[in-house]
Amino acid sequence: MTKSLLSASVLIMLCAASASPQANSPAPPPPRPPMPAPNPDSNITSVEVQTDHRVIFRLWAPEAASVKLQAEGPEATPGITPEQLAPTYGGFPMNKGEKGVWETTIGPITPGTYRYNFVVDGVATTDPRNPLTSQSLTASRSLYEVPGSSFTEYSPTIPHGAIATVYYNSSATGGLRRMHVYTPPGYEAGTSRLPVLYLFHGGGDSDDSWPTVGRAGAILDNAIAAGKALPMIVVMPAGHISTSFRLTPGVRMGHDAFNDDVVKVILPYIDAHYRTLADRDHRAIAGLSMGGLQALNISLDNSAEFAWVGIFSSGWFPANQKEEDDTDLAQYRSSGKPFKLYWVAAGKYDIALQNSNATVALLNHSGIKTEVHETGGFHAWNNWRDYLNEFAAKIFR
């Protein structure tokens, strides 16, 4: 075969090889699905705070027949009465506008952080355009913030602490449990031991409530930076022992397995895993509503562990006051140690105000000196954030 014929043969073979599919070549990827067409939800501003502190809420729900807004915030308005607030409990009707966007405006709202959700044809849902949420016992709600509450806002000009989500096994309640733990600015690089505040949420909420809508981290950061509060660790446990929100038959509220979880499991866990000052003079316990009832009972039964107590919007129910006087208070009278501070606060329109006042009378009768504050407002987070700010400034001094 001549050289020219050989070259032609090789060329033909190479062309044939390149033209035939390779045995190991991957299959071409399937075509991508088309991008959804833009709709009003693509660029909607679901929460818009106006300069006058009125707040506009929007939701795209073109097929809905009815949409309502359920929002905290109006109860924080100075001077508002229960009669004026009552119509808001059923929710604020939203108006359907162009292209299926529902809208309503509320306020002016006192600066602070509040929870809300939408009720679409009777079904409650978080805001799909807002990633900020706060968990309760069985659900989540969205968050909105009206600027201007300096002590609850995260400032860019001061150091900040950290809030960790901590899982632990509880021999008191059985199984895995969760709590949130705040450590102050500089804790990770420091060596000093710190006092500890055990801070409880209210009924129906969760250990996520104080860190989110309660703004515990921002409150402590600001108070520490201003020199109002000493650096401290804040432990925020889950106050419910199940998601049913039902008490064990025969067990009074504030007397279930959570009490043992705090004293026998959480306290040793925190002292073992954090740099704490592990004595009663450097331990405080506080809570709101149901958490206040838990703090009340735990403090009386375990006064050797806690020297500082804060009861926010809480107290024994009238039907239980005699029984508590015969048990927890009797135990305190027989062996209790004096408290450095027993701080009690409730709002003028607080549903717990009468219980709180009656409980203070029982505490005083048992020789416990209380510091009592009656504030404005309702059974609501704007009060409880204020109470934490004031209580944190008084403890461990």
254 confidence band (pLDDT: 50, 70, 90): confident
Note whether 43-148 and 152-394 share their fold.
Answer: no
- Partners of 312 in beta bridges: 288, 345
Phi, psi of 125 (to 5 degrees): -145, 150
Work out the number of other CB atoms within 10 angstroms of the CB of residue 289.
25
Other CB atoms within a 10 A radius of the CB of residue 322 amount to 11
Segment 202-212 shows an average pLDDT of 97
The model's confidence at residue 228, banded by pLDDT at 50, 70 and 90, is very high
Stated as kind and residue range, the H or E segment containing 113 is strand 112-120
Which carries the bigger pLDDT value, residue 253 or residue 339?
Answer: 339
Say if residue 135's pLDDT is above 90: yes
What is the predicted pLDDT for the residue at 10?
43
Report the C-alpha gap between 268 and 266 in whole angstroms: 6
For 289, how many CA atoms within 13 A lie in the half-sphere containing its CB? 18
**Inter-axis angle of helices 381-394 and 216-225, nearest 10:** 40
* pLDDT for 12: 45
Query: Superfamily assignment of 152-394 in CATH?
Result: Alpha/Beta hydrolase fold, catalytic domain (3.40.50.1820)
Residues belonging to the chain: 397
pLDDT at 146 over 50: yes
Q: Measuring CA to CA, how many Å separate 208 from each of 34, 66, 71, 243, 327?
A: 39, 31, 18, 14, 32
Q: Which fold has domain 43-148?
A: Immunoglobulin-like (2.60.40)
Q: What value does the mean pLDDT take over residues 85-96?
A: 94
The span from the CA of 277 to the CA of 267, in Å, is 11
pLDDT of residue 24: 67
Q: Looking at residues 125-154, what average pLDDT do you find?
A: 96
pLDDT, residue 16, reads 46
Report, as an integer, the average pLDDT of 190-199: 98
pLDDT tens digit string along 4-51? 444 444 444 444 445 455 556 777 888 888 777 778 888 899 999 999
What's the pTM value of the predicted model, to 2 decimals?
0.90
Could you state, in order of their start, the residue ranges of all structural domains in the chain?
43-148, 152-394
The answer to whether 300 and 337 have CB atoms below 8 angstroms apart is no
Report whether pLDDT(335) > 70. yes
Is residue 346 pLDDT above 60, yes or no? yes
Average pLDDT, whole number, for the chain? Answer: 92
Asked whether residue 2 carries a pLDDT value surpassing 70, the answer given is: no
